């Protein structure tokens, strides 16, 4: 009997970035490991364990209810492989229960004799309690690939030692998106247009920033990448007198719309990633370390809501981009090429890890 590969992440909840990660890793297994049965753990309540899903390029895989650990334990066997495919799941800022779930999943796989590989991971933020409970479980992994230096340092400070570590980038740098817009379309823009990718949550400083940007630049468009953010985006647009938000649920729509924008501000990591892949300049907003890590990699500015210079800083950065959008796009294009090359290297590292683990099962 061929080993099973169990793929998990924050899949099945309508978040575009996480669904793209799921597709990215399922395609890797289709292309490089076609002989293995792939099972994707999903939170989609409309799918039942054992259902088969068909992806692009002929990808087929089974799905399993991520919450039914008892059933998952019955499915796993010695020689199987559990793969964490991207995301920021090992953190306890948004939910301690979520962290405990993922740690329980790893312990379950280990008890059942399955190997563990974590790829494209953002580790943290973790409280002292979170670091204490996560350290021995993360030590069960054969390999952990981190998408930024901050995550790797978090593991080092936690004294996680057993796995093989790897420093990479956000996995979607290697995703086969459509080609970005040509530079000619940038030169034809007469009025700057700002795209703002929103994350749900009440925030007076966010309201103030949006009102200021709308007043100064005049052409502001709210965008969502997660179904969970759509109600908040519609309420905010109505409250501030903005046009209806673009609710984007697939990357092609974002790429089709990208030529209309001069710059993208984003509260979501994969919003910044999509902007960069479209060669659009970006600005990060929020306290989430993954935003700051990505912006550091791209040499972009990133502001928290508590920054005293938030309004002045964001407006100054926007004016610089608007003053010479062609140069701004060229800088993004050059850095994006470097990151995409690193994404290819990360994919090969991941393939090598899977091959090495499965060869020894």
| C-alpha radius of gyration, the chain, whole number | 21
The answer to which of 125-139, 173-187, 236-250, 331-345 has the lowest mean pLDDT is 173-187
Mean pLDDT value of segment 190-218: 92
CB distance 120 to 21 below 8 Å? yes
All structural domains of the chain, each given as residue ranges with its CATH number in brackets, are 4-168 (3.40.50.2000), 183-339 (3.40.50.2000)
pLDDT bin (cut points 50, 70, 90) of residue 61 is confident
DSSP code for 227: G
User: Residue 63 is inside which H or E element, if any?
Assistant: strand 60-65
pLDDT bin (cut points 50, 70, 90) of residue 115 is very high
Edge-to-edge strand order for the sheet containing 263-266?
A: 246-247, 220-224, 194-197, 263-266, 282-285, 302-303
Residue 205: the pLDDT is 94
7: nearest Cα among 79, 67, 61: 61
Q: Give the CA diameter of the chain.
A: 64
Euclidean distance between CA atoms 150 and 102, whole angstroms: 20
pLDDT tens track for 31-40: 999 888 999 9
Mean pLDDT value of segment 138-165: 95
Euclidean distance between CA atoms 192 and 221, whole angstroms: 11
192: nearest Cα among 6, 65, 329: 329
328: nearest Cα among 198, 173, 183: 183
CB distance 171 to 147 below 8 Å? yes
Give the pairing type, strands 52-54 and 60-65: antiparallel
pLDDT tens track for 204-217: 999 999 999 999 99
Tally of helices (H runs) and strands (E runs) in the chain = 13, 14
Report how far apart, in Å, the C-alpha atoms of 338 and of each of 41, 261, 298 are. 32, 23, 10
Report how far apart, in Å, the C-alpha atoms of 121 and of each of 25, 55, 94, 348 are. 13, 23, 16, 16
pLDDT tens track for 279-307: 999 999 999 999 999 999 999 999 999 99
Query: Does 58 score more than 80 pLDDT?
Result: no
Euclidean distance between CA atoms 174 and 316, whole angstroms: 32
Angle at 128 between CA 86 and CA 155, to 5 degrees: 40
Q: Which of 58-67, 107-116, 194-203 has the highest mean pLDDT?
A: 107-116
Residue 48: the pLDDT is 54
CB distance 61 to 39 below 8 Å? yes
Residue 144: φ, ψ to 5°: -130, 120
Euclidean distance between CA atoms 67 and 339, whole angstroms: 35
């Amino acid at each position: 009997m061929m080993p099973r590969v169990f793929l998990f992440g924050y899949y099945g909840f309508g978040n575009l970035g996480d669904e793209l990660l799921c597709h990215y890793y399922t395609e890797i297994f289709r292309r490089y490991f076609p002989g293995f049965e792939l099972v994707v753990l999903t939170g989609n309540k409309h799918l039942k364990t054992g259902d088969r899903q068909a992806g692009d390029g002929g990808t087929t895989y089974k799905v399993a209810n991520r919450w039914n650990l008892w059933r998952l334990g019955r499915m796993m066997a010695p020689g199987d492989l559990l793969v964490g495919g991207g995301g920021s799941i090992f953190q306890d800022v948004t939910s301690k229960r979520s962290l405990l779930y993922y740690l329980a999943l790893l312990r379950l796989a280990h008890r059942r004799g399955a190997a563990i590989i974590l790829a494209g991971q953002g580790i943290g933020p973790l409280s002292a309690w979170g670091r204490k409970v996560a350290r021995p479980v993360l030590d069960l992994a054969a390999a952990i690939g981190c998408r930024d230096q901050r995550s790797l340092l978090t593991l080092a400070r936690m004294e996680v030692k057993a796995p093989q570590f790897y420093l990479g980038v956000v996995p979607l740098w290697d995703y086969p998106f459509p080609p970005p817009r040509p530079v000619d379309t940038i030169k034809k823009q007469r009025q700057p247009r700002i795209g703002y990718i929103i994350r749900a949550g009440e925030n007076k400083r966010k309201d103030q920033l949006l009102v200021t940007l709308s007043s100064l630049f005049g052409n502001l468009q709210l965008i969502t990448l997660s179904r969970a953010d759509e109600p908040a985006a519609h309420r905010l647009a109505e409250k501030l007198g903005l046009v209806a938000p673009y609710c984007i649920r697939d990357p092609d729509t974002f790429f089709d719309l990208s030529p209309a924008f001069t710059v993208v501000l984003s509260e979501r990591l994969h919003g910044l990633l999509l902007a960069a892949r479209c060669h659009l300049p970006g600005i990060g907003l929020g306290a989430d370390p993954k935003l700051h890590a990505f912006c550091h990699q791209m040499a972009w500015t990133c502001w928290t809501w508590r920054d005293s210079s938030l309004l002045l800083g964001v407006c100054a950065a926007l004016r610089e981009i608007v003053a010479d959008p062609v140069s701004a796009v060229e800088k993004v294009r050059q850095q994006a090429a470097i990151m995409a090359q690193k994404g290819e290297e990360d994919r090969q590292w991941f393939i090598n890890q899977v091959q090495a683990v499965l060869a020894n099962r």
